[in-house]
Structure 1
Amino acid sequence: MEARSSKSQPIVIPRPAHNVSRADISPNAVKVLYRLRDAGHRACLVGGGVRDLLLGREPKDFDIATDARPEQVHALFRNCRLIGRRFRLAHVQFGQEIIEVATFRACGEIGDEGDGPAVERTKDGRILSDNVYGSIEDDAWRRDFTINALYYDIADFAVLDYVGGMTDLEAGLIRLIGDPGERYHEDPVRMLRAVRFAAKLGFRLDPATEAPLHRLGHLLEQIPPARLFDEILKLFMSGSAIQTFELLRHYRLFGWLFPATERCLNRQQHHYPKTLLVHALANTDQRLAEGKPVHPAFLFAALLWEPFRERLQHLEAEGLDAHEAQQAAAEAVVQAQIRHASLPRRYSLPMREIWEMQQRLTCITGKRPLRLLVHPRFRAAYDFLLLRGEADESARELADWWTRLLAQDENGRNRMTQTATPAKKSKSRRRRKPRSARKDASAAPPAPEA
């Protein structure tokens, strides 16, 4: 492969020399590409879709870059809506599939109409909005990683490489375009993307791209919690959660996403590979590989389990009964977490139910176990108990009991619940705190964050 091209001289890989085929591209994306071309616009498939096709992988999304302005794209497609302030984009929707269309952008600071700055930055260089339009060459040089700056041109089916992306793709290298420190300051989420691509693709990080990661994690505090939540889902639900977790901790980034969990792991004397979290991440990867669904609530239940468990033990030691302690501990952990990354209620509520069910699963006598079997959250709670059993002997015994119960018919289940030995109760009854004290404990956050 040739050396990196200059900005005006891209490397052109003609159709016979690459493996990208229209047959492997979403028919809806092809439809958008051709309609833009037929309207006189330049249109290219770009980003992860091209990268994955060149690697022989099945792309998750198909993004398009064009010289058409968002308003022009909107005029061509009745099923199109314009979104975004930071980056103005066109979304062309076909049923459940959305084809994202972006106008070629440049790195300049002045708007295309000459009416002043179109790039808004914070004092430390973070980009707040960027709608400076330019050429395809400009667009390539303002993208994040070289392997994501390859274009498949629908006009002649060639792949265009302006920044050495093909060389890095063949070498298995993640390389930022431009100065890494500056690019991370522009958008700190690029640090998470670097880790995600390295884990997902099995690539190594270019030394210059890697060097700032250990010291710039604090920049993630500038990112809106809602955006970090979306990035967390991408990090841990892309099929390489274990590798992602290990890289995040290696580069000291995990603690900026889950500070309470990081503190718990640090207190476990470097034995974190044996914790429930790692088992849960491995289970997530396995389910995704098998085409099975993974609910974010289950993932977050594992990611925040250790902070919840520690807070629960602390509140019970202070005298709260089990139910109140669970409610207070869960609320404290959730409130602490959402200061760093959002956790929508549609996920936090079932997560809390999974935690609460762990205590209810300890009741293995009488009719209560049979009633639990029909609880809508039973299966998730049972699966969570199985994961706990991988790291904790007492939880393993309880999980084995429930596994045997599930294997029985109705008569067998009745016999098991009648002959089961109840869990041992504490020898001394804790003194119940006054209501005001319980309220204070419920509102109290976890230990102060570093």
Structure 2
Amino acid sequence: MNFQTGNDDAPALRIIPRDQHAISRKSISKAALRVLYRLNEAGFDAYLVGGAVRDLLLGGHPKDFDVATNATPDEVKKLFRNCRLIGRRFRLAHVVFGPEIIEVATFRGTGEDDTEGDRHIVDGRIVRDNIWGTIEEDAVRRDFRVNALYYDISDFSVRDYVGGMQDVADRVLRLIGDPVTRYREDPVRMLRAARLAAKLEFRIDAPAAAPFEALGPLLTEAAPARLFDESLKMFLGGHGLKSFRMLEQCGLLKFLFPSTARALERGDHALRSLVEQGLANTDARVIEGKSVTPAFLFAVLLWGEVRDHAHAWIAQGMELSEAWARAAAHVVGEQCQRVAIPRRFTFTMEEIWSLQPRFEQIQRKRVFRLLAQPRFRAAFDFLLLRAEESPAMRELGQWWAHAQQLPQDVLAAALPAASGPIGPDAPAAVAVGRPPRKRRRRRKPSGKSGSA
């Protein structure tokens, strides 16, 4: 197995002393420091590694801190009572400090001289890899050069074996090794390239981007559960809109969300506006520290084909609720073959979609039933994203926004009791907020009773 860095002159080890880099221990979590110091005091090598080092060098604030060491998982477990061993594909140690987990990985080896190691490769893909090695071997086993930087707790230096420091300075993502080989080993690296480029505002090196079109179909063979996790990292990390655009630019969206790609290829301006605004709103909530749910985001991404299928079946005479249920089941079923969206999220997605046509039914009982729905708020937020579909849809969203601000008795008085305007033009016909005009009572003709 060839793990050259991709350059004719592979860079030699470069050690950057403490006074020549920006990493401070004040920026490293206390839990990670405890793990690093304990390993070091026990006589093991201990390094902060990967994305945390990269982000700290860029002035960022990492959420996760990973540690690399020459201690085996069993040796790590002996040092920490709060440790559990996980993984079959990659054996790892998780050291748990309340809500924070420090992932500790033993240096990976290339395995070229080890026929007894626990490595299993199928069609070029590494499906199990538990061969231990040296830090030099571990560095060339990593995916991108910017992720192969090691912060040494023993002297606070940064060790660079593959040229990662230069890539951080150049703001470029370069793969370690031959791109085709590395993507065949793990096709998800293509998605990671797009996500990191979006998050870091880096460009993807041309040789690293060149195989996307040819090897993109390999993503259809990746574990759907793993692609779900990767989708969450991509879209719920505060840079979802940039990640989405990068996926499109790289030609990878169609392998991850095929129905989304198909719907957007039809040139639907309103749908693109809905998707991009939904992603932008999610990014804003993440940055503000507010809660977000994958269900709403996936409902946004898959809306185009759900809507189109439902409308087509309704046009063929299918009952409205059945058409929407069938459309949702069809699109979700296809998507879950690629990305394993858990049922607790697909159920919410289906509710958000099924409530959309009910916003067009402006009648007293129907309005109050919809307002009482547990998913009303999510469905209403979704309705607001649909404003670009038509002026009537924009007006519908404004109508419901105003209706929610009114006292119940005022709203009830403004609505028709049973038969009323139904459809996107309903808001123009129902003046919410204005009390209904009182009819003048007719004078009874003298000498006659009012009874029928």
Q: Same fold judged by TM-score > 0.5?
A: yes
What residue in structure 2 maps to residue 327 of structure 1?
325
Once the 2 structures are TM-superposed, how far is the Cα of residue 368 of structure 1 from its aligned partner?
2.6
What residue in structure 2 maps to residue 30 of structure 1?
33
C-alpha distance in 2 between matches for 1:5 and 1:96: 45
What residue in structure 2 maps to residue 195 of structure 1?
194
C-alpha distance in 1 between matches for 2:270 and 2:409: 42
Amino acid at match of 2:36: L
Instruction: Name the SS of the counterpart of 1:343 in structure 2.
Output: coil
Q: Is contact 1:120-1:127 (8 Å) kept?
A: yes
What residue in structure 1 maps to residue 166 of structure 2?
167
Amino acid at match of 1:235: M
TM-score (norm 2): 0.88
The question of 1:312 aligning with 2:310 is answered yes
Which of 345, 352, 359 pairs up with 2:350?
Answer: 352
C-alpha distance in 1 between matches for 2:421 and 2:113: 73
Once the 2 structures are TM-superposed, how far is the Cα of residue 6 of structure 1 from its aligned partner?
8.0
Q: Is contact 1:7-1:162 (8 Å) kept?
A: no
Once the 2 structures are TM-superposed, how far is the Cα of residue 383 of structure 1 from its aligned partner?
0.5
Q: Is contact 2:12-2:162 (8 Å) kept?
A: no
Alignment of 1:120-139 (within 5 A): 120-123=120-123, 125-139=124-138
What 5-or-longer segments of structure 1 have no aligned partner? 426-450
Q: Is contact 1:330-1:352 (8 Å) kept?
A: yes
Q: Over residues 5-33 of structure 1, what are the superposed CA-to-partner deviations in whole Å (9 max), with x where a residue is unaligned? A: 98794211111111211111111111111
What residue in structure 2 maps to residue 448 of structure 1?
none
Instruction: Name the SS of the counterpart of 1:71 in structure 2.
Output: helix
C-alpha distance in 1 between matches for 2:377 and 2:208: 43
Q: Is contact 2:271-2:304 (8 Å) kept?
A: no
Instruction: Name the SS of the counterpart of 2:150 in structure 1.
Output: strand
C-alpha distance in 2 between matches for 1:142 and 1:250: 27
C-alpha distance in 2 between matches for 1:334 and 1:110: 47
Q: Is contact 2:263-2:304 (8 Å) kept?
A: yes
Which stretch of the first structure deviates more once superposed, 277-286 or 86-95? 277-286
Alignment of 1:370-449 (within 5 A): 370-418=368-416, 422-424=421-423
The question of 1:18 aligning with 2:21 is answered yes
Instruction: Name the SS of the counterpart of 1:275 in structure 2.
Output: helix
Q: Over residues 226-256 of structure 1, what are the superposed CA-to-partner deviations in whole Å (9 max), with x where a residue is unaligned? A: 1111111111112222221122112211001
Q: Over residues 379-405 of structure 1, what are the superposed CA-to-partner deviations in whole Å (9 max), with x where a residue is unaligned? A: 111100011114433321111101111
What residue in structure 1 maps to residue 446 of structure 2?
none
Which stretch of the first structure deviates more once superposed, 357-366 or 151-160? 357-366
C-alpha distance in 2 between matches for 1:336 and 1:374: 32
Which stretch of the first structure deviates more once superposed, 222-231 or 318-327? 318-327
Larger radius of gyration: 2
Q: Is contact 1:70-1:103 (8 Å) kept?
A: yes
What residue in structure 1 maps to residue 89 of structure 2?
86
C-alpha distance in 2 between matches for 1:8 and 1:168: 12
C-alpha distance in 2 between matches for 1:424 and 1:146: 56
What residue in structure 2 maps to residue 260 of structure 1?
259
What residue in structure 2 maps to residue 119 of structure 1?
119
What residue in structure 2 maps to residue 282 of structure 1?
280
What 5-or-longer segments of structure 2 have no aligned partner? 1-6, 425-452
Aligned-residue sequence identity (percent) comes to 52
C-alpha distance in 1 between matches for 2:270 and 2:240: 15
What residue in structure 2 maps to residue 298 of structure 1?
296
What residue in structure 1 maps to residue 57 of structure 2?
54
Alignment of 1:64-79 (within 5 A): 64-79=67-82
Q: Over residues 372-426 of structure 1, what are the superposed CA-to-partner deviations in whole Å (9 max), with x where a residue is unaligned? A: 223221111110001111443332111110111122233332233349952149x
Instruction: Name the SS of the counterpart of 2:397 in structure 1.
Output: helix
Instruction: Name the SS of the counterpart of 2:67 in structure 1.
Output: strand
Once the 2 structures are TM-superposed, how far is the Cα of residue 370 of structure 1 from its aligned partner?
2.3
Q: Is contact 1:7-1:137 (8 Å) kept?
A: no
